[in-house]
Structure 1
């Protein structure tokens, strides 16, 4: 607080509250980092990159329909930094965000001195994609400004960029470190593959995301959509949100509207699949001005497929037209560039009149004017969906290997093939992964931890990963069969930061699983339905249905031991029973592995009354 009573923050205190992005927005920063480049030539180089980015977007995504904002760049200065900056609101279409990542990655392949930062309102979303394979020292609390795209690859700024201290980096610090030591950045092919996995379907995904459908709309609107197909995005958003003020003209039969249901034509309209699903899924009663048209169409309808399709195209056309009508109420004042372009185009059409509108012959010359894509990708069989989640094979109502749209099938097949290849490759592993030892006191200094973490590019246990993935994919688990594997599994658990007690518990659980397998092999867990006892022990040592207790069974075991001392063969059932009883006795009435195993066998042994009397 100053002398005037005003509350203020110092620059350092203010930096502790970084500016946050709005929801569903992605931001990208493009830097030219070249020690040989003179500062006076920096602006021209940035302008060359901006033009190249625009050309790349036009060539790759010319036909793409952006949900809200498109890919855009402008030169910006921030303190001593000069760079290209862009922000895109992708709304409900996450594909817009990944298309931008693809464009930027391709752009870095053409400019060797270009470094790109990209993040959204969730933070470093590329690192989120690769969260399972990141180095242990890299946490969400310190990952700011540490991921960069350069030369088509993903690079990470090491802990040394923050002088070995686990804290977030400022943008200025990150740029300064890249300038001083670009070769020290971490590049892991394994991390990069996970972070860029969604990019494998590009650029084909741009075409696959488009859906065309036949709709019946006014001729004026058909002309606008033909001239500017991308205006469908703000119109569907207006329809999807349905602002009460924007709906007033549609609710009043006497209101003046821009697109009355007159002079209707059937044309093929281009959507993205997300936009089409938003439009198709909405229940919307026809406005009063459309009621008469729907009543006439329903009277003439029959069971013929053509009549059903005609009614469906009329309903979709009514929704599209209503969306554009809602958009006209405040399109010229919206922040959305496409909405403003629509407002200007509508004004030109209404000023020029009917002479600019296309005739039926003109419409027939339009590309794909009668195209209608299959809508089966909208259908979801929830039984099949549940099968996929459970990892079950042999679906109930579909051919084997088919689920969802082709894109979803490709993603699922890719995941399965990667996983199977990893499990079948005996030499598969991660370079730099190693086990760390923990002493009894767990006394490791922060400096040692930091140096160890920095040296490890990736650290995780393959055997644990294999086990978890097999369980998740519904594959049979492969349990360790020798003490060496048990020891290695226990050590790998410690690598992930668990306590020594958890290591021992894990080893005990695996040992119990092996013992249970051996018990089943020798018939010890096959219970007699009459007595509830293991058949192997019951057959050898007798016993009545009431179970006389521990003393009777122990006496029989001792007698058997005396009679078999001179025999060369060792009776496995005898040794098993004897060891179980001794282990149970050593528990001294407390819980333990022997008691648990005997409980699984259906045996509840009594206390040792003889020893209590002697005490």
Structure 2
């Protein structure tokens, strides 16, 4: 249900795309000239966008730009950009296709106009995510801020002079316009983005699905007048709550008594959402749905759901100009006061009221552009009052409705899914693992995995570095140099940093490898006072850590005691041993443990115990590129 939210803060949800269009303003001598250039550019951009998106069905917000001058930036929330430009924000919701269609539109704009474009989403410079495998080493989400632009149908990345260099949008635009060759990105990066937007505008039709629905005649008339309203209606129904259900039981505006068949066009995303949203209508409302086996069941069921979505929207209708009771408006005014927008003017004075009215106009226009639920509901309510439609005309059209589009795309076979994943991420090379596997090759794989060193930004499997595309790692945010510190003693931070653990991956891997290479003698006459491999490990492979001498001595004592206890047991007989070891000729009948064979045997036994289900063996070895083959023998212990 809609409530009084601060719609200006809704641009910080996770589903938004922001775009900035910067025309050349070098010839402008004053703010009036700048505004004239911006308005003319806006008309040209709107013409290009209209030409390419005429048949596009937006999931939530449509592509829309507004003029933003330096003065207008004071009215905007969460922006430090004062350079005059065209600004737009679109919420994509569950349909990521909108995001890439916007990128396509912006590319087309830069083809025809001399403008530089920037586009970001909740992840920041999201265009770089697609090109992560080809980015320069210095590029990450922090260092690339204000450096990624689209100009002349090419992606441009402004390189830094120093690693910690911050750049303003103004400086970046100057460098791109003055020397575009130095900022134009590699062809592999260009291709990564172009592959995401290729196929437009033909892809628009491919992403649509049309079906005949049995709808209240009022809903059918509204959709015929404005087909784009299907998107908010589907979302209103799928996001319904208990209060919305009361409106659905009443069906005050769209009663079910007078219904007709009408052809409705969805995006595939909207159709899937509506189709998979479960709902059993109240029979007391007047819905009479055929049995599920009937050919008309789907058209009736989808019609009920869509009609309920329209009913929910109208029940939440509220005039856009009604801001006095809007908590979002009052919160917005407070934020303007904090930013110094009213310049310490006396409240209710003429100058103060002029600024307040300008802010109110901006707020109303912004809310209208965001297509929030109360505004859409008000629009539908006005259409129900003003639209003239004849029931007989709709009934005549029912006989000429084309066949529904095939919706078999809703179901996907496992093989098709596998092909999609391989196309997206590439085919991973697997090493088969069974009873005939060379144990040495197996342990080499394990050793390679253990010795692989990842950085502090996250662990990676060795093969992932070469084959798997991934998002650039999120770095640590830079601290603002102008930020005020409330700490009275800066030494506290140094003290905390000095207590951090100094972890050496190479030493850890070496220590772990020595434990895995430990061999237990089986001779009863073994000299307990002599140094075993475990004791030698403690003496010869001591890791040098400052202040850890006492810990090392305790570890040596512990190892010696453990050697003594294990030497009197028969645990060594449970391991597979090698035939002969020349290094222990002086020890009678000593046969060292075959580490490779035992590791392979234990992994195969673990996999067999999984009985085809997920388990530790397949989970650990799968990302390493080792494929476990099922056993063909029913004998216990055979592989």
TM-score, scaled to structure 2 = 0.55
Match 2:100 to one of 98, 101, 107: 98
Shift of 1:328: 0.7
Q: 1:218 to 1:376 in 2, by over 3 A?
A: same
Checking the alignment, whether the CA contact within 8 Å between 1:158 and 1:186 is kept in structure 2 is no
Q: Does residue 324 of the first structure (1) align with residue 310 of the second (2)?
A: yes
CA deviations over 1:531-584 (Å, ceiling 9, x no partner) = 96668x79xx9xxxxx99665699xxxxxxxxxxxxxxxxxxxxxxxxxx9xx9
Aligned partners of 1:38 and 1:91: how far apart in 2? 41
Alignment check: 8 A CA contact 1:27 1:118 kept: yes
Question: 1:431-470 deviations in whole A, cap 9, x for unaligned?
Answer: xxxxxxxxxxxxxxxxxxxxxxxxxxxxxxxxx7798429
Higher helix share: 1
Cα distance change, pair 145–351 in 1 and its aligned pair in 2 (3 A): closer
> Is the 2:45–2:109 Cα contact (8 Å) retained in structure 1?
yes
1:250-399 pair list within 5 angstroms? 250-252=248-250, 257-290=252-285, 293-294=288-289, 297-298=290-291, 308-333=294-319, 335=367, 337=371, 340=375, 343-344=378-379, 346-351=381-386, 355=390, 358-362=393-397, 369-381=401-413, 384=414, 395=415
Task: Check 1:130–1:503 CA distance in 2 against 1; reply closer, same or farther (3 A cut).
Answer: farther
Shift in CA distance, 370/347, structure 1 to aligned 2, threshold 3 Å: same
Distance 2:52 2:68 in 1: 25
Preserved contact between residue 131 and residue 189 of structure 2 (Cα < 8 Å): yes
| Matched residue, 1:435 | none
Give the 3 Å change call, closer, same or farther, for CA 503–200 of structure 1 in structure 2. farther
Aligned to 2:58: 66
With over 3 angstroms needed to count, the CA separation of the structure-2 counterparts of 1:532 and 1:273, relative to structure 1, is: same
* Equivalent residue runs for 1:504-519 within 5 Å: none
Counterpart in the other structure of 1:123? 124
RMSD: 4.4
Alpha-carbon displacement from aligned partner over 1:133-187 (angstroms, at most 9, x marks no partner): 3222222222211100011111111112xxx241543334433544565443252
Note if contact 2:314-2:380 (Cα within 8 Å) is conserved in structure 1.
Answer: no
Q: For each residue in 1:198-221, what CA deviation from the matched residue of structure 2 results, as whole angstroms up to 9, or x when unmatched?
A: 112433322121111221111221
- For each residue in 1:338-357, what CA deviation from the matched residue of structure 2 results, as whole angstroms up to 9, or x when unmatched? 86466445434435665487
Q: How does 1:393-542 map to 2 (within 5 A)?
A: 395=415, 402-403=416-417, 409=420, 413=423, 416=426, 468-469=466-467, 501=506
1:392 matched to which residue of 2? none
Corresponding position: 1:215 with 2:213: yes
Question: Per the alignment, do residues 189 and 277 of structure 1 end up closer, same or farther by CA in structure 2, a change over 3 Å counting?
Answer: same
Shift of 1:97: 1.0
Give distance in 2, aligned partners of 1:362 and 1:597. Answer: 76
CA distance change for structure 1 residues 534 and 316 in 2, over 3 Å: closer, same or farther? same
C-alpha separation between the residues in 1 aligned to 2:468 and 2:234? 43
CA distance in 2, matches of 1:81, 1:350: 44
Return 5+ residue gaps in structure 1 as ranges. Answer: 1-17, 385-394, 396-401, 421-463, 473-497, 513-530, 542-546, 555-580, 585-593, 603-615
Report the CA distance shift for 1:378/1:195 in structure 2 as closer, same or farther (over 3 A). Answer: same
Change (3 A) 1:216 1:466: closer
Question: Aligned-pair distance for 1:59?
Answer: 2.5
Offset of residue 265 of structure 1: 1.4
Shift of 1:127: 1.6
- Cross-structure match for 1:204: 202
Q: Name the counterpart of 2:625.
A: none
> How far apart, in 2, do the equivalents of 1:601 and 1:273 lie?
48
2:86 is the counterpart of 1:84: yes
Matched position secondary structure for 2:288: helix
SS of structure 1 residue aligned to 2:156: strand
> SS of the residue aligned with 1:361?
helix
Deviation string for 1:407-432 (max 9, x for gaps)?
x85x8547659x99xxxxxxxxxxxx
Between the aligned partners of 1:56 and 1:66, the Cα distance in structure 2 is: 17
Aligned length: 412
2:17 to 26, 31, 48: 26
Aligned mates of 2:152, 2:504 — CA distance in 1 = 42
The residue aligned with 1:191 is 189
1:487 corresponds to:
none
User: Partners of 2:425 and 2:505 in 1: how far apart?
Assistant: 34
Kindly indicate whether the alpha-carbon contact (under 8 Å) linking 1:250 and 1:289 is maintained by their aligned counterparts in 2: no
**For residues 382 and 600 of structure 2, what CA distance do their matches in structure 1 show?**
84
Q: 1:150 to 1:380 in 2, by over 3 A?
A: same
- CA 1:69/1:548 → structure 2, altered by over 3 Å: closer, same or farther? closer
Match of 1:169 in 2: 167
Q: The residue matched to 1:328 in structure 2 has which SS? A: helix
Unaligned residue ranges in structure 2 (runs of 5+): 1-8, 72-81, 321-366, 430-461, 471-502, 518-574, 602-639
Q: Distance in 1 between matches of 2:140 and 2:301?
A: 50
Larger CA deviation: 46-55 vs 129-138:
46-55
* Per-residue deviation, 1:56: 2.6
Corresponding residue for residue 55 of structure 1: 47
Contact persistence 1:217–1:264 (CA under 8 A): yes
- For residues 284-304 of structure 1, what are the alpha-carbon distances to aligned partners after superposition, in whole Å with 9 as ceiling and x for unaligned? 11034445513xx34xx8x6x
1:240 is aligned to 238
Name the residue aligned to 1:521: none
3-state SS in 1 of match to 2:12 = coil
